Chains A and B, each alone.
Chain A
Amino acid sequence: MTTVEHAEHVDVEESAPTAAPPEERPIGYGRLKRKEDPRFVRGKGNYVDDVLLPGMLHGAVLRSPFAHARIVSIDTSAAEAHPKVKAVITGKTLEGLGLAWMPTLSMDTQAVLATDKVRFQGQEVAFVVAEDHYAARDAVELIDIEYEPLPAVIDARRAMDADAPVIRDDKEGRTDNHIFDWEAGDPEAANAVFERADVVVRQEMLYPRVHPAPLETCGCVASMDPVEGKLTLWETCQAPHAHRTLVAMVAGIPEQKIRIVAPDIGGGFGNKVGIYPGYVCAVVGSIVTGKPVKWMEDRSENLMSTSFARDYHMTGEIAATRDGKILGIRADVLADHGAFNGTAQPTKYPAGFFHIFTGSYDIEAAHCKVTGVYTNKAPGGVAYACSFRVTEAVYLVERMVDCLANELGRDPAELRMQNLLRPEQFPYENKTGWTYDSGDYPTTLRKAMDIAGYEQLREEQRRRRAEGKPMGIGVSFFTEVVGAGARKHFDILGLGMADGCELRVHPTGKAVVRLSVQTQGQGHETTFAQIVAEELGIPPEDIQVVHGDTDQTPFGLGTYGSRSTPVSGAAAAVVARKVRDKARLIAGAMLEVSPDDLDWEKGRWFVRGDPSAGKSIQEIALAAHGTLELPEGVEGHLEATTVYNPPNLTFPYGAYICVVDVDPGTGVVKVRRFIAVDDCGTRINPMIIEGQVHGGLADGVGMALMQLIGFDEDGNCLSGSFMDYLLPTALEVPDWELGYTVTPSPHHPIGAKGIGESATVGSPPAVVNAVMDAIGVRHADMPLTPSRVWHAMHGGVGAPQ
């Protein structure tokens, strides 16, 4: 630390002897090292599996080996006889408690432990509670179940066949596997533009089933205090408050007697939104044994039974004039929801935000139709950094634009530039009912092209092609929709999507802010401190961020769909402004002037026209707790609470360019470069934003090239371990090249838009477009494994199963 740097910093942090250079520790927005890191780098994080309670027992789940089978009998006697086993729970046990079935996030029901039938391979059938983990695992093998296998529905396209077996015969009157039909947009208007279009391109595509696969699997520790009647549940959970309410509804425990603790979470990506049968079993296990019960999934359980994502069979159509003006887009989708409809979605839209498939383009008409069906596969479809089906929508439109470019013989970047919405069109009402808040799309695309050296790349591509070396350049431009959501549009199981926030400034000027959202690595402890710091001028290290414990924090719906910054970030800013307003009144009393005569500069109120007469927020905090005569109507102390109801969603966007090389002899794809220019509005901590983008890009490369939850014809899951469910390593991904533009959201208190999922949404089409560009094929479905690429080059390749 040089003296000069210290001196520069003197007025804001006199007391800190080791203050870093100003750019290192902004009071407010800017690059700031994370507050959570010191514990993580020492191995002192506290994840669910690290929880150890006195007398804690261990649970293990027995799962179905069949995709579809009737349960003839269950014999648990041998397991019960195991000396270390404390309880064996079956569907029968649960039926007695009214817990054999639970509601899903889509108003469907899901079996906690199967009673009548098993409906997917890996479904929960029995739960063993034992003294240690090894014994629990051993005892599971001792349970004897007789099954009568039934024909299974694996291909969603056969689910509605007349002779398809009915999966949900538990539901009265069910005669088929249909879940819902839903549409958006204007079919007539769409027909009209398709009829007059010079060019119509149609393409079938599958966004295959994938899994979020956070490195930490899901699990919980359930501890029922029989005296207090209070349940404490440590969970790998992205939405602790929603879980508390759901547990209250499912288990009939009074909500004030439930405490959900989400400690450190080893990644979520949507996998930790829902409630899984294992959690309910652990709770029951704790009630039955009177001891805390831990249950942690193994990786196979994670991949085979918890929320998958995507599985959208889509047919896209795009209509354009001969000179490349896009007129309309249509989509027809068959959605595979698995055996129970467990999708987390805002109920008004069973396909989530899929109707953002109109993309970033100025079009005249659009229409989509989505049909959801049951299959004998794991339920879920919740997420995977997808903001409720935006991933599928963006993939569809960005592939269709490339198909159109291919049809017209146009450069895909140039074709996009021609059709992008222009800045003056915002706020823009799209053709399916969304209002895009703000954007300057052409600038962002141009920036990406400049970083990439787009024109030179095309030149290089021509040269390499001539040498027989396929190289591809893929472009995608995406508009995300995040921050669910406005009361009139959204709810989950009747719960609105507003977030509470509480802020308290202590007498010494240090603060604590309490959030309802739950970090899984996004760095909330840092970002939210920075938001409050920006508003109040209290250094971020003086602000404690409390989250992850429902006894300690206000209600809110949790972290997924990139909603933390758009919703809770707004709440944090609003609550800080409330505190600031209150501080103004107190400062007025301290300075004996009217509050109206005070002006604010970061961290202090001062008398307008006399900057030397002022009070810092720390001084005001002390006075607020002290003996100062408070103005009329002002309560003591310096604190506030708020509930933020988002008026609209926010619409981050970006332009991505991917460069690949393909080995023509083997079909092996190498991602050589990846350029990502994102616009997420106001940037709170650029370091964290970039980290979020990096992670999402790696995810997108993984989905495009290798990730697939596959099944054989009998419904056996072929991707139940990391040997077969492939995730990219450091060797499959390039050095990311990032850029950004800033177009603040006009309706968000700080203009921020959310960045958590942009890259996951935007990158798969860029990679696929690049590979198609390299091999000169219009379309091949993901994952673009060497085998699939090679087949695409030699006559074509079908959808993966």
Chain B
Amino acid sequence: MQVPASFDYRRAESVDDALALLERYGDGARVIAGGHSLLPMMKLRLARPEYLVDINDLTELDYLRLDGDRLRIGALTRHRKLLESEVVEHFFPIFTDAERVIADPPVRNRGTIGGSLCQADPSEDLSAVCSALAAEVVIRGRGGERVVPVHEFYRGPYETAVGVGEMLVEVRIPVRHRAGSAYEKVERKAGDWAVAAAGAALALAQDGRIEVAGIGLAAVGADAVHARAAEELLRGREPSEELFAEAGRRAGDDCEPVADNRGTAEYKRHLAAELTSRALRRAAARAAAGVEAGAGV
């Protein structure tokens, strides 16, 4: 069995304690949340932190709270909780869609939203979800908090806006009216990372036109988490099959997948298009169904 190299371990008792530890140990320190991205990398010795700051006792970061027009998700909220939350499913079915196909049940019992976003793996699903939903994240340091739009949070593969001595504490998602969202992923088997995936979130105006459109992609290139061109196309338009197909094409054109074990670049580009239009179709149907049922209005 591969085992990690040596490190020191501290268990944080509070967020402030965690921040103090992170500041004290500086560059060599890493937060460990679920550990399901970090520990495999440490076992393969692709990561060798000197200090681990365990934040699993910080139950104050484990919450899902509907707060006015936004949903606040604590950084330590586990995949399992997101998957099983009725509130999440009601307002953001895209989350539920994605969580069903993220990793597998025991991994979902440990992995957290904070760890997922901070890992910033280009194949990571919640980044695409948060991108589609135009989430904001809250980063806290000893000096205080800052709120960063998720689109500015990514600094490239495995790099985020979280600086040394800081941590992610919360994810905020705007609740919209007449909204619907969906996530589509192709994987080679259950528990696999995405070959490609696309999430779409739509909010309709009174007249049925698309008011807000968000599209997030996974596994089709480091800079392609956010499909801007496709979003622009959708805004202000009447939902239709042709529109969604065209938006899919734009998403496909805009991404930069690389060939690997999971598939060729051409195939992934095709998937980006295909899955984007599928997600849009379902998102629109959900928005329409919600309007009809009087929900989410």
Direct contact of A and B (CB under 8 A): yes
> How far is A791 from B195 in the complex, measured between Cα atoms in Å?
14
Q: Let me know if B189 and A726 touch, CB within 8 A.
A: yes
Residues of chain B contacted by A426 (CB below 8 angstroms): none
Residues of chain B contacted by A665 (CB below 8 angstroms): 274, 278
Contact with A along B153-196 (1 / 0, CB 8 A): 00000000000000000000000000000000010111111010
Is A728 on the interface with B (CB-CB < 8 A)? yes
> How far is A298 from B44 in the complex, measured between Cα atoms in Å?
11
> How far is A114 from B224 in the complex, measured between Cα atoms in Å?
45
- Residue of B at shortest CB range from A667? B267
Residues of chain A contacted by B151 (CB below 8 angstroms): none
Q: Let me know if B5 and A785 touch, CB within 8 A.
A: no
Residues of chain B contacted by A706 (CB below 8 angstroms): 188-189
- Residue of A at shortest CB range from B190? A731
Q: Which of B1, B193, B261, B267 contacts A133 (CB 8 A)?
A: B1
> How far is A300 from B1 in the complex, measured between Cα atoms in Å?
9
Q: Let me know if B186 and A666 touch, CB within 8 A.
A: yes
Residues of chain A contacted by B228 (CB below 8 angstroms): none
- Residue of B at shortest CB range from A702? B189
- Residue of B at shortest CB range from A721? B44
Minimum distance in angstroms from A140 CB to a CB of chain B: 10
Minimum distance in angstroms from A703 CB to a CB of chain B: 13
Q: Which of A667, A729, A785 contacts B191 (CB 8 A)?
A: A729
Is B264 on the interface with A (CB-CB < 8 A)? yes
Minimum distance in angstroms from B186 CB to a CB of chain A: 5
Residues of chain B contacted by A791 (CB below 8 angstroms): 264, 266-267
Contact with A along B269-286 (1 / 0, CB 8 A): 011001100100000000
Is A134 on the interface with B (CB-CB < 8 A)? yes
Residues of chain B contacted by A300 (CB below 8 angstroms): 2
Q: Let me know if A133 and B3 touch, CB within 8 A.
A: yes
Minimum distance in angstroms from A133 CB to a CB of chain B: 7
A728 with B189, Cβ < 8 A, contacts A787-B195, A790-B267 known: yes
> How far is A790 from B273 in the complex, measured between Cα atoms in Å?
14
Q: Which of A298, A666, A790 contacts B1 (CB 8 A)?
A: A298
- Best-surrounded residue of B45, B261, B275 (most CB of chain A within 10 A): B261
Q: Let me know if A729 and B190 touch, CB within 8 A.
A: yes
CB within 8 Å of A: which of B115-137? none
Contact with A along B92-115 (1 / 0, CB 8 A): 000000000000100000000000
Residues of chain A contacted by B270 (CB below 8 angstroms): 790
Is A786 on the interface with B (CB-CB < 8 A)? yes
Q: Let me know if B263 and A786 touch, CB within 8 A.
A: yes
Q: How many A-B residue pairs have CB under 8 A?
A: 62
Q: Let me know if B274 and A732 touch, CB within 8 A.
A: no
Is A710 on the interface with B (CB-CB < 8 A)? yes
- Residue of A at shortest CB range from B43? A298
> How far is A760 from B274 in the complex, measured between Cα atoms in Å?
35
Interface of B is mostly: loop
Contact with B along A724-764 (1 / 0, CB 8 A): 10111111100000000000000000000000000000000
Interface size class of B (residues with CB under 8 A): 20 to 34
A138 with B190, Cβ < 8 A, contacts A666-B271, A666-B274 known: no
> How far is A666 from B185 in the complex, measured between Cα atoms in Å?
10
- Residue of A at shortest CB range from B260? A718
Q: Let me know if B190 and A726 touch, CB within 8 A.
A: no
Is B262 on the interface with A (CB-CB < 8 A)? yes
Q: Which of A141, A723, A730 contacts B45 (CB 8 A)?
A: A141
> How far is A724 from B123 in the complex, measured between Cα atoms in Å?
14
- Residue of A at shortest CB range from B263? A787
Minimum distance in angstroms from B29 CB to a CB of chain A: 21
Minimum distance in angstroms from A666 CB to a CB of chain B: 5
> How far is A668 from B275 in the complex, measured between Cα atoms in Å?
13
- Residue of B at shortest CB range from A724? B261
> How far is A661 from B287 in the complex, measured between Cα atoms in Å?
29
- Residue of A at shortest CB range from B45? A141
Contact with A along B228-262 (1 / 0, CB 8 A): 00000000000000000000000000000000011
Residues of chain B contacted by A138 (CB below 8 angstroms): 5-6
- Residue of A at shortest CB range from B267? A787
Q: Let me know if B192 and A726 touch, CB within 8 A.
A: yes
Minimum distance in angstroms from A459 CB to a CB of chain B: 29
Residues of chain A contacted by B104 (CB below 8 angstroms): 729
Minimum distance in angstroms from A221 CB to a CB of chain B: 15
Is A650 on the interface with B (CB-CB < 8 A)? no
Residues of chain B contacted by A371 (CB below 8 angstroms): none
Q: Let me know if A134 and B3 touch, CB within 8 A.
A: yes
Contact with A along B188-222 (1 / 0, CB 8 A): 11111101000000000000000000000000000
CB within 8 Å of A: which of B26-65? 45
Is A719 on the interface with B (CB-CB < 8 A)? yes
> How far is A718 from B260 in the complex, measured between Cα atoms in Å?
9
CB within 8 Å of B: which of A327-349? none
Q: Which of B188, B263, B271 contacts A726 (CB 8 A)?
A: B188
A729 with B189, Cβ < 8 A, contacts A665-B274, A790-B267 known: yes
> How far is A514 from B188 in the complex, measured between Cα atoms in Å?
45
Q: Which of B1, B188, B275 contacts A785 (CB 8 A)?
A: B188
Is A557 on the interface with B (CB-CB < 8 A)? no
> How far is A786 from B192 in the complex, measured between Cα atoms in Å?
13
Q: Which of B6, B192, B262 contacts A787 (CB 8 A)?
A: B262
9 examples of A-B residue contacts, CB within 8 angstroms: A298-B1, A726-B192, A727-B189, A731-B189, A785-B188, A787-B264, A790-B270, A791-B264, A791-B267
- Which residues of A are in contact with B by a Cβ distance under 8 Å? 133-134, 137-138, 141, 296, 298-300, 665-668, 706, 710, 718-719, 723-724, 726-732, 785-787, 790-791
What 8 A-B pairs are tightest by C-beta distance, nearest first? A787-B263, A731-B190, A787-B267, A729-B190, A665-B274, A298-B2, A666-B186, A724-B261
7 further interface pairs, Cβ-Cβ under 8 Å (given A729-B190, A786-B188):
A137-B2, A726-B188, A726-B189, A731-B190, A786-B186, A787-B262, A787-B267
